[in-house]
Amino acid sequence: MLKRLATSREALLLGAILVLLALISTRFPAFITPSNLVGVFNDTSPLILLALGQMIVILTKCIDLSVAANLALTGMVVALVNVAAPGVPVAVILLVAITLGTIMGMFNGLLVWKVQIPPIVVTLGTMTIYRGIIFLLSDGKWVNAHEMSPAFKAFPRMELLGLPMLSWFGILAVILFYFIMTRTTLGRAFYAVGGNPHAAVYAGINVGYTQFWAYTISGALSGLAGYLWVSRYAVAYVDLAGGFELEVVAACVIGGVSIAGGLGTVAGTLLGALFLGIVKNALPVINISPFWQLAISGAAIIIAVVFNARANRTKGRVILKSAEQTA
């Protein structure tokens, strides 16, 4: 059991992160100070939120390319609400953000479930629609820091037990998702639908309905991240988080979530997001050029995909050998 644990994807990824931190510390020792690592985790929290939502969508053999556009539209809406009514409590703003994100996620899920449109087509389309709606709402203008109320901007920075609220949202999401994926029927249904849809149907699981809930949860997390992102950086505009959806998918793949569905863990997704967060924060401080930053991130993704493919092949051979031995 210890051997299996030591050779697990999560253990290998954790080892890679520790090696990465050790290498970075040789060039920039201050990077591994506790205060800086807390800052890195805080910066990575929006990616953790979106990656957890993306994980359950991918587990069901789907993909959600509209998460960043959902984040941007939600962020713009709550920013405009705050400009129009600065006295609205942050709790109401959070409720509006999560509700709006959930509705957009439900829209994706309904198109995949009821209209039977391929997930990549649905989410590419809604990604464009959501960006277009942002332009219509804002007339292409930015909402800047001086237009937002102090309470709106302060919430993600408020500290509780030494950690900003943004970090606490990331931690709570990880705990909640671990419980859902390991202790609930819905969590097991996500794995069953992605692992073998036909067997899932015979087991009484509604494949489309399960995929609908995966998109709904992913949308809710995107909406929450929309407010947290806009309030933390104190700006909202049409191209907010442009291309971030690819980083979200990359965090899942690096964390061991199979793009074919049915395989992946919360711990792996968390580590995948942290790996990308560390790379993103470390490379600029050790004077790596932006070109090489992209190249290194891309190489990490390719290596992760190769690992995933090899792991899947190994699993298949073991099953066949067992069958032969039994015969």
Instruction: Please report the pLDDT score of residue 327 as a whole number.
Output: 42
Instruction: Please report the pLDDT score of residue 79 as a whole number.
Output: 94
Chain-centre distance for alpha carbon 99:
18
Alpha helices in the chain (DSSP H): 2-6, 9-27, 34-59, 67-84, 90-113, 119-138, 150-154, 165-183, 185-195, 197-202, 207-233, 244-254, 266-285, 290-326
CA distances from 163 to 73, 236, 240, 278 (A): 27, 25, 25, 18
Instruction: Please report the pLDDT score of residue 173 as a whole number.
Output: 96
pTM value? 0.89
Q: CA–CA separation, 71 vs 42, rounded Å?
A: 17
Alpha helices in 60-183 (DSSP H): 67-84, 90-113, 119-138, 150-154, 165-183
Instruction: Please report the pLDDT score of residue 5 as a whole number.
Output: 60
CA distances from 94 to 223, 226, 241, 311 (A): 9, 10, 19, 40
Low-confidence ranges of the chain (pLDDT < 70): 1-7, 290, 308-327
Instruction: Please report the pLDDT score of residue 110 as a whole number.
Output: 96
Instruction: Please report the pLDDT score of residue 301 as a whole number.
Output: 72
